[in-house]
Structure formats: C-alpha cells, structure tokens
Amino acid sequence: MHVHILGICGTFMGGLALLARATGHRVTGCDANVYPPMSTQLEEQGIELIQGFDPSQLGKNEDDAPDLVVIGNAMSRGNPCVEAVLNRGIPYTSGPQFLAEHILKDRWVLAISGTHGKTSTSSMLAWILEDCGYEPGFLIGGVPQNFGVSARLGGSAFFVVEADEYDSAFFDKRSKFVHYQPRTLVINNLEFDHADIFDDLKAIQRQFHHVIRTVPGEGKIIWPKDSEAVQQVIDMGCWSEQETYARHSDSDSGIVSGKGSSAADNQGTWSSKLIAADGHQFELFLDGESQGILDWSLIGQHNVENATMAIAAARHVGVKPESAIQALTQFEPPKRRMELIGEVNGIEVYDDFAHHPTAIATTLQGCRAKVGEAKITIILEPRSNTMKSGVHKDTLAGSMSLADQAYLYQADSIDWDIEAAMAKAELPVSVLYDIDEIVDAVASKAKSGDTIIIMSNGGFGGLHKKLLEKLNDSSFKS
C-alpha cells in the first residue's frame, strides 16, 4: 500500500512514517519545512520527502494517487493537499487512527499520558523493557538516546506509546490517546494546557475519562494519588485495576474509590524517598516494602516520579522492580530533557523542553538541588500555543523563582506584555526582542561555575549554537 503523510516532519508523524515503512508499506510525505534531523532519519529509511503542499504530489488521477493519505493534526481546511484529498475522494485517516489500525492491533499497548513527563516516562519504560529482554515497539515524542530513534516496531507484542491528549486531526477532535486502547495506562499528572483546543481543565478531564473507558477490566491504570485533577477523572468511573503513586514512603496505602471500582481494584501504592536531595539517588517502595535503591544520572523530583511510574508499568507486564531499577542505572534521558549540550570555561549549558510553568519549576528544583548556591540563568522562549496565548502569564514569574537570572524572548507572535507580567518576579528578568541581543547579554555575564538552561519547545532561532559560539569567543571568556 502507498501511504502518503501530510505533515510528515513532526515528531509523531515522522515516527509513524518509520513504523509504516517497517511494516512494508511504500511511504512518502510532505511538510512545510523539510529539514534535518527528521528529514535525514526518514530519507535513510527510503521515505521520499516533498517540500510544501502542491497537490501534484497526489498524482494526476486515480491510478497514481496514494492508496491512503494520513493527515497530521497541524493540517487544516484550505491546505492545498487537504482540499485535493477531499475533492478527489482519496481515502484518508488521522495519524492516531492509522497507528491504532495498522500498528497497535493485537498488541499489548502501554500508554503514557499526562500534562508533563510523557516523553521521559515513555523512554524509561521502553528502555526497561528492552534491557529486560522484552524487545518492545515504541512511538515516542522525542528521541530516546538509548535507542537513537523515535519509533520502531519491536520484536514482541509489547508497544509503548506516548499518549498525547492533543486532538487527532481537523476532522477528528478526540484526543490522540482515545484511539490507542491501552492495556496499561499511566496518567503522570493533569493540568490545564493546550488552550488553543481546550476551554478549561474539565474539557481535558473528559478526554482522559474517554481513554479510561477503553482500558479493559483486566488492564491497569497507574496514577498519582495526590493529584486532585486525576482523582476527579477516576471518580467519573473506573472499571480497571489500579495502582497509585504517593510521594512519601510513609503514606497511607488506602483504597482508591470511583464509580465502578472496588477494594479489589487497588493493587498497591508505590512511593519513593529521596536519598540525595537532587533526586539522583532514591529508594522505591511498594505498599511500604522497599523494592531497591536507584542511583542514576537524572535529577529532580519529577524524574523520580517518572521513573516510579515506568517501573510500575513494567511490573504489569512481568518485569520485577529490582530488574527495572537495574535497567534505569543505564538510562540516558531523551534529547532536549535537561540535555547538556556544551561546557565552556566551566559554564554548563543545558537544553530543556520545558514550556509550562510547572515543568519550568520542577526542572529548576532539580537543578538547584544539584548545583547548590551556584548561579542558574534561564533563557526562555514562550513558544507553545498556550504560552503564546498568555494563559500562564500570571504563574510564569513564580515558576522561575529558583533561578538567579532570567532572559525572556518577546517574539512577534506573542501579543501579551511579558515585561508587565514579570513586574513582581522574585529574580532579575530581562525581556528582549532580539535573539542575538539575548546571546550577547547572557554571554557577557556568564562565569565559571554557572549553569545556563535554554527552555524552548522549538529551535529558538538557533540560539543554542549561537550562545555556545559566543561563550567560546575570547572576548566573552571569564
């Protein structure tokens, strides 16, 4: 079958293309911006890429048209290829529906959902299963460094998927994860996000309850006990086995409640206890009994929680916690999750995907615990649709309080006044309109022992490379 993908260079759609190619389909695709590294990864797998959306790529008639067009959720009515597909009656589907029908069918799906930590937790789970001999398939919204690719079919029935609550396509406004029908479902956390498609938290909670309805009774849902938002979703009705996570090892392991649930549904409470303040060493408990101590390279309470969820999910398919803990000692975080991209004259520069106040705060908590009193500078691009809309402008300043200095980029696409929103910030904040000015300002003040964290869910206009080059410039050496 010839599958043509509209919007192929996004992480999800690019991963989907790799999976479709691996199943034997002829795969082609197009996007507005076809460039490395995704373009290179796809072309190496024999996938033909086309720049732009000229309808000619769909063939001239029925005989040379694709058998199926997969339409990414970034595509909308008015796109030339979308209009051609509809006018000519070419069969089409969404990415999540293609994944469900052609890849996930008859597989044990382990879905990782939540507002934060999906990519990291999915990567941890995939690596645990791999290291323990399970040969999982996976589709992750990032590049797990233990694998070097964002997706693969795998050699077993097990498939790990990063389960996003974003909508599926212009013609299917259900969340992506509703299509996946997981047997193991992790809900890491739940906050308001994606303000471009959801009106409020309740709208997101409804989508989460839709996916809960698809988990079989013999399946398992793993969720954080101290999250009121997730508890409210569970209370809407839950018919599957449950395990919960509580942060402290001395916490009550009481029964979770909810319509359709019973005492027998609660299979245990996981918890963790920090041994090192920065989270690089912690002890894991199940119903108050120690499962072992993890000493690894990651930091932050959020990663402790991500690891616990991954270990709990792996246990559901038969991996012993002590084996999972051992696997994570060799875990390498996904690209762009507090990734050290350079060290110049004693100055460490990190790249981090954080684009929500909670993610920013948790990243800084881990970093502060690691570096102590050393200076932390953050450079933030408010780039997500929710950030650009200004939904989080009242909580953004507070989320940065553990840093010593912040530089925020006021792009033309942001129509709210960042400087005004930062008026009550507890740290010095500079709001600049030019990326090169940010680079110069940061480099001129950086000194040996400093930590610089670049926070963006995009390319940030090449700031990462520019900053490293400037720090290497002799005129800026400290």
List Cα–Cα distances, 39 to 3, 76, 215, in angstroms: 17, 22, 35
Asked whether residue 78 is marked as a ligand-binding residue, the answer is: no
Q: Are residues 42 and 147 in the same domain?
A: no
Q: Are residues 260 and 239 in the same domain?
A: yes
Q: Do the domain assignments include residue 183?
A: yes
Asked whether residue 377 is marked as a ligand-binding residue, the answer is: no
Q: Do the domain assignments include residue 264?
A: yes
Residue 440 — φ and ψ, nearest 5°?
A: -60, -45
Q: Do the domain assignments include residue 334?
A: no
pLDDT of the residue at 476 = 52
Q: Are residues 281 and 166 in the same domain?
A: yes
Q: Which residues of the chain have pLDDT under 50?
A: 249-265, 478
Q: Are residues 399 and 468 in the same domain?
A: yes
Q: Are residues 359 and 403 in the same domain?
A: yes
pLDDT of the residue at 388 = 67
- Residue 363 in contact with residue 453, Cβ under 8 Å? yes
Q: Which of 279, 301, 328 is the last residue of a domain?
A: 328
pLDDT of the residue at 411 = 84
For residue 406, the domain's CATH number is 3.90.190.20
Q: In whole angstroms, what is the distance from residue 140 CA to residue 151 CA? A: 6
Asked whether residue 465 is marked as a ligand-binding residue, the answer is: no
Q: Are residues 50 and 115 in the same domain?
A: no
For residue 172, the domain's CATH number is 3.40.1190.10
Q: Do the domain assignments include residue 374?
A: yes
For residue 51, the domain's CATH number is 3.40.50.720
Q: Are residues 199 and 312 in the same domain?
A: yes
Q: Are residues 465 and 385 in the same domain?
A: yes
Asked whether residue 119 is marked as a ligand-binding residue, the answer is: yes
Structural domain range at position 202: 104-328
Per-residue pLDDT tens over the stretch 392-426: 788 888 889 999 999 999 888 787 888 888 888 88
Asked whether residue 28 is marked as a ligand-binding residue, the answer is: no
Per-residue pLDDT tens over the stretch 327-370: 999 998 877 778 888 999 899 999 988 768 888 888 898 889 88
- Residue 362 in contact with residue 116, Cβ under 8 Å? yes
Q: 10 Å Cβ neighbour count for 276?
A: 12
- Residue 379 in contact with residue 442, Cβ under 8 Å? yes
Asked whether residue 118 is marked as a ligand-binding residue, the answer is: yes
Q: Which of 284, 300, 328 is the last residue of a domain?
A: 328
Q: Are residues 157 and 89 in the same domain?
A: no
Q: Are residues 27 and 54 in the same domain?
A: yes
3-state secondary structure of 208: helix
Asked whether residue 120 is marked as a ligand-binding residue, the answer is: yes
Instruction: Supply the DSSP string of 247-299, one letter for each residue.
Output: SSTTS--PPP--TT--GGGEEEEEEEEESSTTSSEEEEEETTEEEEEEE-S--
Q: Do the domain assignments include residue 333?
A: no
DSSP state of 2: E
Per-residue pLDDT tens over the stretch 124-180: 999 999 999 999 999 998 888 889 888 999 999 999 999 999 899 999 999 999 999
Q: Which of 57, 73, 94 is the last residue of a domain?
A: 94
Count of the separate structural domains present in the chain: 3
Q: Do the domain assignments include residue 313?
A: yes
Q: Do the domain assignments include residue 275?
A: yes
Q: Are residues 405 and 467 in the same domain?
A: yes
Residue 18 — φ and ψ, nearest 5°?
A: -65, -40
Q: Do the domain assignments include residue 417?
A: yes
Q: Is the pTM of this model over 0.85?
A: no
List Cα–Cα distances, 61 to 48, 67, 82, 85, 88, in angstroms: 20, 12, 16, 12, 9
Q: Are residues 122 and 81 in the same domain?
A: no
Among 351, 323, 301, which Cα is nearest to 451's? 351
